[in-house]
Amino acid sequence: MYEPKSFDDLKVNDRVSLSKTITEADGALYIAATGDFGPVHVDEVYASATRFGRRLAPGIMVAGLCTSILTSELVGTIGVSVEDRFWFTGPVFYGDTLTFDVWIAEQHDETRTVIWEASARNEGGLEVLKARASLKFPRRKPS
């Protein structure tokens, strides 16, 4: 967990899968830290009148779990994020157990860049998040 890996340690199609239940505590900590007090996340009365019918977990919090899994389980802590794209394809409710699949889709030696992708599905199999992002790794130190 959180072991440093070099660019040369990584390979296209390296993959990890991890499941996590999204809790009220996760949401409360994220909301408190970011100030994201959107009523669909915190106000049950408001959220019940939306098309979702109840409160949603913050999408960016869920997206952040992808990046956490990426660094803790797949690529390590050396790469620096240079671009992140997330698509919120379905609702995430508190209590949902999500399975995150994160993988290396491309590796560019000349720029020392890794393109990673991710998908998260709820326990019913509905995809709720897609991601595509890039990490840049430092140049090798001269010998």
Look at residue 45 in the predicted model and tell me its pLDDT.
Answer: 97
| Token output for 136 | 């840049």
Look at residue 3 in the predicted model and tell me its pLDDT.
Answer: 77
Q: What is the pLDDT of residues 58-99, one digit of tens each?
A: 999 999 999 999 999 999 888 999 999 999 999 999 999 999
Look at residue 104 in the predicted model and tell me its pLDDT.
Answer: 97
| Token output for 64 | 């952040």
In a domain, 51, yes or no: no
**Is the entire prediction scored with pTM above 0.85?**
yes
Look at residue 135 in the predicted model and tell me its pLDDT.
Answer: 94
Look at residue 1 in the predicted model and tell me its pLDDT.
Answer: 62
In a domain, 6, yes or no: no
In a domain, 101, yes or no: yes
Q: Say how many domains are in the chain.
A: 1
Question: Which residues span the domain enclosing 85?
Answer: 11-22+58-136
In a domain, 116, yes or no: yes
Supply the Cα-derived Rg of the chain in whole angstroms: 17
In a domain, 69, yes or no: yes
Sites in the chain below the pLDDT cut of 70? 1-2, 142-143
In angstroms, the CA 64 to CA 12 distance is 22
In a domain, 110, yes or no: yes
Look at residue 142 in the predicted model and tell me its pLDDT.
Answer: 61
CATH number at residue 71: 3.10.129.10
In a domain, 27, yes or no: no
Look at residue 5 in the predicted model and tell me its pLDDT.
Answer: 86
In a domain, 90, yes or no: yes
Measured CA to CA in angstroms, residue 102 lies from 11, 65, 115, 134, 141 at distances of 13, 10, 11, 13, 29
